[in-house]
Amino acid sequence: MTESDVRAAAQRMYAAFNAHDHTATTQIFTADFYSHPLGTTGPQSVTASWRRFHEAFPHARVVVEDMVVQGDTAAVRTSVHGIPDREPPTMLEMFRVREGRIAELWGLSSLRRDP
């Protein structure tokens, strides 16, 4: 797998999120995908998370600001547009890619959720 493959996997994920293509998660994430921030496993957990996010913010879209790829890992800084009455929050995410799919994710977000 090349660094171009890793970059492409990350770009596919953001494109699917922006298109509200929740079914694409089975092609983007490995069956044993693990999200460290959410403590969840599998593409279905991503689908559920994306659905909740799009229900709360139907016009949200992620813009990739910077992406650094080394080996099987991508580090990405994004901004999230389409969230009313807020400056676009920033997200920092790291992905580990295996066989062209995202296998593991770490992330931080400046998006504050009201209780």
pLDDT at 94 over 90: yes
**pLDDT at residue 1, as a whole number:** 86
Tokens describing residue 11: 């770009």
> pLDDT tens digits, residue range 26-38?
999 999 999 999 9
Does this model's pTM top 0.85? My answer is: yes
> pLDDT tens digits, residue range 49-88?
999 999 999 999 999 999 999 999 999 999 999 998 888 9
Structural contact between residues 103 and 28, judged by C-beta atoms closer than 8 angstroms: no
Top pLDDT among 43 and 113 is at 43
Give residue for tokens 């920092």: 92
Integer CA distances (angstroms), 28 to 23, 34, 44, 110, in order: 10, 13, 11, 25
Structural contact between residues 75 and 106, judged by C-beta atoms closer than 8 angstroms: no
Closest CA to 65 of 52, 85, 79: 79
**pLDDT at residue 106, as a whole number:** 98
**pLDDT at residue 81, as a whole number:** 96
Domains and CATH numbers, the chain: 3-109 (3.10.450.50)
